[in-house]
Amino acid sequence: MRGLALASLALLGGRIGLAATYWVILGGLGGDADYEQRFAAWVREAEKICRGSAGDVQVVALSGGRATATGIRALFGELSRRVRPEDAFVLLLIGHGSFDGYQYKFNLPGPDLTAEDLAALLSPITAERQLVVNTTSASGASIEPLRKPGRIVITATKSGLEKNATVFARYFIEALRDPAADADKNETLTALEAFRYAGQKTARFYESQRRLATEHPLLEDTGRGQGVRLPDPAGGSGRLAASFALLRLGQAQEAARDPARRALLARKERLEQEIDLLKYRKAAMDAAEYRKQLTALLIELARVNEELEK
């Protein structure tokens, strides 16, 4: 098993000097052929999307017979030596989870991993920005053991009592490839954007099928909460998730490396900040004045972008 995990690590590829994003994608036990196939396909798809994204992205994906507790422990042991504090770390769990009233378990071939086991595996990972996306059934029960300051925890269900197989994983992966998920169109998909996209699609799935929703996704990024359905960065929840870049979708980051364009980029950044500030003041402003100022700032920002594109 150790050999398998190390073979997976070999896929990580060479490191570059800038901060990297590590993705660990684990596909659990399906229980029957249909779920085995579905989970493996989702793992493959997520892996493919991550590998194709811009920036320094390191991906390890394990599913089926390879995703055992022993193999996963070995993988995390290796990762704890490689991942640095400035890196970002994402753990995506796909499969079935269970909850016996006391403990959440991620179902694997052989012994399962409890939420406490997962927390212990994550503990030596030094990345200051961490995201755990647990898309399994009963995943809501994993929030408490997994949460900690600096870590975002996303779950498919609101508690351990929502035990039916989930569809959240499908939409979370869809968020990684659908440009529509990048709500602010800044060519960076944040954890918050992906959560909102997948949450909305999951809710619509149950509505359109006229089925009672058996999963209610939560996001916890304060390190002390129970998770919320509708995070609001202005109110505290979702603030960390809003700044966690999951994927870089375009060439925006390349521009940052061109010294000739840095002045324009600085201006762009300033304008974006001014727009954000203006939006925060909107409720207290006269509507016509708000519109006038917003138009002026947006036109200026559009011109700066035009310059950057030249």
Nearest to 129 by CA among 145, 107, 153: 153
Q: Which lies closer to another protein via its Cβ, residue 20 or residue 245?
A: 245
Residues 6+ apart with CB under 8 A from 303: none
Residues 6+ apart with CB under 8 A from 239: 221, 233
Q: Which SS3 state, helix, strand or coil, does residue 242 take? A: helix
Residue 35 CB, nearest distance to another protein (Å)?
Answer: 19
Q: Which lies closer to another protein via its Cβ, residue 161 or residue 183?
A: 183
Q: Would you tell me which residues interact with another protein (CB under 8 A)?
A: 179-187, 197, 200-201, 207-210, 271-272, 275, 279, 291, 294-295, 298-299, 301-303, 305-306, 309
Residue 197 CB, nearest distance to another protein (Å)?
Answer: 6
User: Are the beta carbons of 175 and 240 closer than 8 angstroms?
Assistant: no
Residues 6+ apart with CB under 8 A from 89: 21, 22, 24, 79, 83, 122, 125, 127, 129, 130, 131
Q: Which lies closer to another protein via its Cβ, residue 10 or residue 289?
A: 289
Q: Which lies closer to another protein via its Cβ, residue 1 or residue 294?
A: 294
What is the spatial distance between Cα 121 and Cα 119, in angstroms, rounded to a whole number? Answer: 5
290: tokens are 């708000």
Nearest to 193 by CA among 241, 140, 158, 152: 241
Residue 185 CB, nearest distance to another protein (Å)?
Answer: 4
